[in-house]
Structure 1
Amino acid sequence: MTISAGVVAADVSDSVVRIAPASISKDLPGVTTVTDRDGTPIATVFDQYRIAVTGDKISAAMKNAVVSIEDRRFYQEHGIDPKGVARAAISDATGGDHQGGSTITQQLVKNYLINVADKDNPAAQAADRADTLTRKMREARSAIELDKHLSKDEILTDYLNVVEFTGKIYGVEAAARAYFGTTADKLTVPQAALLAGMVNNPTTFNPYTKPVNAQHRRDMVIDAMLANKAIDAQTAAQAKAAPLGVTGPNVPSSTCYSAQPDAGFFCQYALTYLQQAGISQEQLTNGGLTIKTTMDSKVSAAAKNAVDANVPTKQPGVANTMAIVSPGSTSHEILALVANRTLGTDASQGQTTRNLVTEVSDPFGSGSVFKIFTAAAALESGTATLDTQLPNPPSQCFPVPGNRNCYTVHNDGNYSDPISLTNGLATSPNTAFVGLEQQVGVPAVVAMASRLGLRTTMQSNAAGQKPDPNSNDPQRNQSQTQYFQDKPSFTLGNSPVSPLELANVPATLMSGGIWCAPTPVLSVTDAAGNPVSYQASGCEQAISSDVASTLMTGLSQDTVSGTTAASAHAAGWTRPDIGKTGTTQTNQSVAFVGGVDRYAVSSLVFADGNKPGQLCPGTPVHIGSCGHGAFGGTVAAPPYFKAMQAILGR
């Protein structure tokens, strides 16, 4: 009995799986590589560790091995082996044992469906594996179609790129690298024989867990190569005498968790950013993309060293973040996103799965840094100039709309009364700025915070989360923009904030008042090197260049004569810059934002444990009870000086 192509196709046309021959190599899930701005890899992301290669990048030994053991008539048949299919059909029809008979082309169809087309559909994968005549007939029909459109070498190459080995390893190039530390074009006869033997059953012939089985199968492949005249007897004997020779398996990590300590948060944010910009999770994970980020490895390493020196990675209950952004009129490129914590799942090692640097992660706020927004709103509206003398009593109770009780504010320390706006920005009295906020109007100050950079921050609620419409608590069901409309406390910065967005505030000022969404990506290309498009955020004139320039002048005294002067002197810091410190009322969070040369920076130190408490200065910064506690100038600013000195030189 024989079966022709026409008989194979009969009665199964409705269930034939259409596989476009030209799309097989293009559709293969691959490894996405994330790099720094110079192209140095910082992480790989994938579901399947596969590196697709062309036929000329696969050794003859590998091709001969798989043909000899899987399909000796491969070069003579046309997609199917009629005798094999007939044997399987008769056996299945009469209730006998299930038979094989699959050619390499048929195996390509089956493996493509399981590993590529249906990889996310377990039910479809089960159907692809079903040992039924219908499935085999469908598979045969598709194989015949492939054989009509692809050369034998193209089919063999596609097959070797599609097949699974063990774990997440797919395709011969990845297998060569993982098992032997080599490439597919350099595979020797014994190496090729081992890999060719594994595709039949990767679990049974796993050289790590079942080396005896693997060697027996490898030797069987070598014998088949000899019988198929692919090698001579001497080569076969030498190959069988060789040890398995596997190393590893050397498989890179498939997530950003594998990145270096100073790159994990950056990698994670780059992927989040691109997904929000229109590139799907499937493309990012399986597209074989190259994502060149804006990360400057020198800057990032310096920032990481600075925060680690201030607060060790495993220090209980204390986080120190640093974000560095490069100002510009057309983009604000992120150069570093680091924390003393690292990205990972082991909390005992100071790891966290949350992106502490980009999310609204500091639940306590950045304190008096928010006085920048009050000053900006006052300068823009003409309510004040840098020389304006602001009333500054030691304490004052300010009216709150719709509330019988006024809001009492105290200055922490001795200040002149009145005080100029410039001196106020440098020394940070509370009553002067709450009074100025009252003159400008709280809504204008709240709006200014968003305009200058706190876009996501102000959209979150007073807990730093997405507003919950089911909550009855205004702090939970309203955005910060809504909640703080009538709250004089806003200028004192007692609300959650994103460290990255805070760094973008001085970047906006240093860019002549132009706000740009902080971007972590320079380019995205596909496996063929073609650009991949995505929706990049634009820029806008947030405030006039005159207001920005004036405000920068007002912020230029902090490290000279203001709250950070002592720390600047201790660090030997003499560069002209802008800066503003902040300390929350309970000392659970302290902050410094600054700008120097082409770097805009935020450094935040805040309680991040299950039992948050007062931050205390020292080596290291710790949670405790220490009177006045830590301050932005004494605890958050030193990492800024250390990082910038390493980057710019003393």
Structure 2
Amino acid sequence: MLKLIGLCVLAGVLVAGMLFPVAGAAGVLSNQASETVDKTSSDLADIPPPLVTTITDNTGKQIATLYKQYRIPTNETQINDAMKWALISVEDKRFYEHNGVDWKGTLRAAVSNTTGGDTQGASTLTQQYVKNYLINVVYRDDKPGQKRAQEQSVARKLKEARIAIQLETKLNKMQILTGYLNVVEFSREIYGVGAAANAYFNTPVEKLTVPQAALLAGLVNNPVVNDPWKNPAKATERRNLVLDRMVDNQKLAKADAERFKAEPLGVVEGGPQKPAANCVGAGPENGFFCQYVEDYLLKAGMTLDDLYTGGYQIKTTLDERANHEAKVSAETQVKKTQDNVANTLSLVKPGKDRHEVVALAANRDYGLHEDQGQTTFALPSGVYNTGGAGSAYKVFTAAAALEAGVAGINSPLPVPDFYTSSVFGGGGNRCAPAPRPPAGPGGKWYCLGNAGDYNPAGGAMSLQQALATSPNTAFVALEEKVGSTGPIVEMARKLGMRDTMASNLGGGAVDPKSGNPGVNASQLQAFGPRPGWAGNASFTLGPAPLSGLELANVGATIMSGGVWCPPTPLAGITDRDGKPVPVKEAACEQVVPEGLANTLAVGMSRDSQPGGTSFGAANGVRWNRPVMGKTGTTQNNGSGTYLGATPQLSGAAMVFRPKGGSGGLCYLGPGNVTTRGCENMFGGKTPAQTWFGAMSKILEGQEAPPLPQPDPKYLGGGR
């Protein structure tokens, strides 16, 4: 009796549904229900399906794809008769006869489901289009929403029916069929028939054969059960059923169907053919660049979901040849499988309106298999060198001195073997030999010595010579002339170390709530002055974490006449419709006077010449171009750096421990760098060899323009 009453109620509801096209406007259902249907219909119109974002190099060659759903958009003309009739025959034989809902089939299924018989769907392709659009597009990240969109209830079926009927008033049958074939899943994150044709058969959708189309049409009913790689017998059975339905629908001759049934499934071997869904697909060389593109766009305001579903075409500034040479040079100097030794090279093109990133390379491959020397950490671009840049940071001290007018590149600097500073206290209270100068802040001194014998006749050398030979004592004395570290750390920020100086002493994000002074302050704050303290004088020795890409951009800023621009990897972006997409990038800034930058470039031009710290590396490749450069080595030889730039290209090479740890690096020759055995790494060894090895190849055959002319204002200093 209860079932009979339920069927009577159900029959009334279904009759109301059948009358909807006529009586809908008269209020068959409530206004609230109508509003829900209208909103869902709007969602179907306003929320586009996720598409694959493509990343290319600077020539337009694809290097990577990013996606959450692998989908290749297919238009009406690409769907051939084989695919069309295979799908219609098995899923909705009366597709061209109904107005969105097959009421006869719906009533039959509803009665069967309500009376406890076999569960039946009886949904038309239009209704399936609605359901799949809700599941795979509108609610793709909403599990409760997906559950509601496919629950077995009369209310859900009626709502789906109303939407389907509305849809048929707005779209023709071919548009609905095409829409369905673009959103339905074919298993394993493969969505739409375009992607399925490629992934299953390595063929364009318009060239699908009848048995191929039958296999795909059979999949949509249950892609997991009918997976041809996991369940080939089930997949074959389902394909053959589709062929039989095509015969019943008079769209295929029985003899042809029998012949097709005897054919193998014909899918590609080993699983579906589809591209990687993230930057791993860019490969071991280009993956670091792809990762930087992603990081750059997220920083610019794009969401990760938008990036992976928006279907963008992103043309980058990557020069694959330069990137390859950078990778080869980095790996030549340090083996990719060497435990806890990373060797990176980042290259940026100078310019007064753009600083384009050309290459981001490392000895390690980009990938997921650490035991094979792979990593997905952004070693060439992120703040990952926790060992520091060493004396490469003396560039900032020199630049600040020029800006303050306390020295020029020809100004003499004292170069004692040992130096005691009372301006920068905090180094210790017994480091100063007698007679000691007055103690600094806290009753202490800052004391240091040189790594070698730099004391020439007269005990002084020019700033230009000091930049080439790098005595520590000369630059701490120069910091004293500047007065505090404030202008020096700010100079580092201005010239390009922006994310670096905003990070904490561990290279991570600042956490003001932490009680750890290495975490709760930025490097700008940690090394800068505070009331009663002139700052941390060790900044000129580069002891803190940094980004190699930002250091390369410092060289680009100097070589661009003092114009800083963000290191951009973007040449242009278009959306799924081919329209340009603006990206909010920081504006270029004239951060120091052009004369200062030009003079500093000249001041750094002796490093690769005889007596300079990178002369051996430069001479090893017979370097004969004008270049500005600066090496750096940290305490106990724990890391090394080389910053070098020509008018065409600036680059920073770094060797460091990516996993951290104490102790120095042991250099036993090119290709043989370890963390054990000795402590003899210097910036003039592996980093400089990496830089010159790559740049000699990249610039081969190009002109060798001179460095800019110095400004007399910054030659003598002392004004």
The equivalent residue for 2:428 is none
Give the one of 493, 516, 522 matched to 2:565. Answer: 516
Decide whether aligned partners of structure 1 residues 102 and 624 sit closer, same or farther in structure 2, where only a CA change above 3 A counts.
closer
Look up the equivalent residue of 1:579 and give its one-letter code: G
The equivalent residue for 1:137 is 158
Decide whether aligned partners of structure 1 residues 625 and 208 sit closer, same or farther in structure 2, where only a CA change above 3 A counts.
closer
Partner deviation per Cα, 1:167-221 (whole Å, 9 max, x = no partner): 1111001000001000110001000000000000001111111111111111111
The equivalent residue for 2:451 is 412
Alpha-carbon distance in structure 1 between the residues aligned to 2:313 and 2:539 = 42
Partner deviation per Cα, 1:573-620 (whole Å, 9 max, x = no partner): 111111000000211110000012411000000122354431111243
Deviation at 1:20, TM superposition (A): 4.2
Look up the equivalent residue of 1:10 and give its one-letter code: L
* 1:368 to 2:391 alignment: yes
Deviation at 1:541, TM superposition (A): 0.4
The equivalent residue for 2:492 is 449
Look up the equivalent residue of 1:560 and give its one-letter code: Q
The equivalent residue for 2:71 is 50
Alpha-carbon distance in structure 1 between the residues aligned to 2:114 and 2:255 = 45
Look up the equivalent residue of 1:514 and give its one-letter code: V
Deviation at 1:344, TM superposition (A): 2.6
Partner deviation per Cα, 1:293-338 (whole Å, 9 max, x = no partner): 1111111011001101111111111000110000111110000111
Deviation at 1:272, TM superposition (A): 1.5
Decide whether aligned partners of structure 1 residues 215 and 93 sit closer, same or farther in structure 2, where only a CA change above 3 A counts.
closer
Look up the equivalent residue of 1:554 and give its one-letter code: G
Decide whether aligned partners of structure 1 residues 139 and 20 sit closer, same or farther in structure 2, where only a CA change above 3 A counts.
closer
Decide whether aligned partners of structure 1 residues 91 and 15 sit closer, same or farther in structure 2, where only a CA change above 3 A counts.
farther
The equivalent residue for 1:560 is 609
Q: Are 1:21 and 1:150, in contact at CA under 8 Å, matched by a contact in 2?
A: no
Alpha-carbon distance in structure 1 between the residues aligned to 2:554 and 2:155 = 64
- The root-mean-square deviation of aligned C-alpha atoms, in Å, is 1.8
Alpha-carbon distance in structure 2 between the residues aligned to 1:269 and 1:625 = 32
Partner deviation per Cα, 1:14-53 (whole Å, 9 max, x = no partner): 6436344795597011111111111111111111111111
Deviation at 1:122, TM superposition (A): 0.6
* 1:310 to 2:349 alignment: no
Equivalent position SS for 1:390: strand
Q: Where does 1:86-485 land on structure 2 (aligned, <5 Å)?
A: 86-92=107-113, 97-247=118-268, 248-399=271-422, 400-401=424-425, 402-415=441-454, 416=456, 417-440=459-482, 441-485=484-528
Equivalent position SS for 1:408: strand
Partner deviation per Cα, 1:540-588 (whole Å, 9 max, x = no partner): 0010100000000011111013111122112211111110000002111
Q: Where does 1:485-564 land on structure 2 (aligned, <5 Å)?
A: 485=528, 486-561=535-610, 562-564=612-614
Alpha-carbon distance in structure 1 between the residues aligned to 2:660 and 2:527 = 27
Decide whether aligned partners of structure 1 residues 635 and 99 sit closer, same or farther in structure 2, where only a CA change above 3 A counts.
closer
Equivalent position SS for 2:325: helix
Equivalent position SS for 2:641: strand
The equivalent residue for 2:645 is 595
Alpha-carbon distance in structure 2 between the residues aligned to 1:427 and 1:619 = 22
Look up the equivalent residue of 2:474 and give its one-letter code: A
Q: Are 1:29 and 1:288, in contact at CA under 8 Å, matched by a contact in 2?
A: yes
The equivalent residue for 1:646 is 697
Q: Are 1:17 and 1:138, in contact at CA under 8 Å, matched by a contact in 2?
A: no
Look up the equivalent residue of 1:386 and give its one-letter code: I
Deviation at 1:226, TM superposition (A): 1.2
Deviation at 1:5, TM superposition (A): 4.2
Look up the equivalent residue of 2:465 and give its one-letter code: N
Decide whether aligned partners of structure 1 residues 5 and 257 sit closer, same or farther in structure 2, where only a CA change above 3 A counts.
farther
Look up the equivalent residue of 1:310 and give its one-letter code: Q
Equivalent position SS for 2:218: helix
Alpha-carbon distance in structure 2 between the residues aligned to 1:546 and 1:428 = 23
Deviation at 1:381, TM superposition (A): 1.4
> Percent identical across equivalent pairs?
45
Equivalent position SS for 1:314: coil
Partner deviation per Cα, 1:600-642 (whole Å, 9 max, x = no partner): 0000001223544311112434234555511101121011111
Q: Are 2:340 and 2:675, in contact at CA under 8 Å, matched by a contact in 1?
A: no
Alpha-carbon distance in structure 2 between the residues aligned to 1:575 and 1:156 = 64
Partner deviation per Cα, 1:80-138 (whole Å, 9 max, x = no partner): 00111222344455565533210000000011111110010111111111111111111
Deviation at 1:470, TM superposition (A): 2.7
The answer for unaligned runs of 5 or more in structure 2 is 1-10, 426-440, 529-534, 702-719
Alpha-carbon distance in structure 1 between the residues aligned to 2:633 and 2:471 = 12
Larger gyration radius, structure 1 or structure 2: 2
TM-score, structure 2 as length reference: 0.88
Look up the equivalent residue of 1:448 and give its one-letter code: M
Equivalent position SS for 2:307: helix
Equivalent position SS for 1:412: coil
Alpha-carbon distance in structure 1 between the residues aligned to 2:679 and 2:417 = 18
The answer for unaligned runs of 5 or more in structure 1 is none
Deviation at 1:342, TM superposition (A): 2.5
Alpha-carbon distance in structure 2 between the residues aligned to 1:631 and 1:94 = 82
TM-score, structure 1 as length reference: 0.97
Deviation at 1:357, TM superposition (A): 1.4
* 1:623 to 2:666 alignment: no
Q: Are 1:21 and 1:149, in contact at CA under 8 Å, matched by a contact in 2?
A: no
Kindly tell me the number of residue pairs found equivalent between the two proteins: 650
Alpha-carbon distance in structure 2 between the residues aligned to 1:628 and 1:406 = 28
Q: Are 2:664 and 2:678, in contact at CA under 8 Å, matched by a contact in 1?
A: no
Look up the equivalent residue of 1:30 and give its one-letter code: L
* 1:4 to 2:42 alignment: no
Deviation at 1:523, TM superposition (A): 1.1
The equivalent residue for 2:627 is 577
Equivalent position SS for 1:328: coil
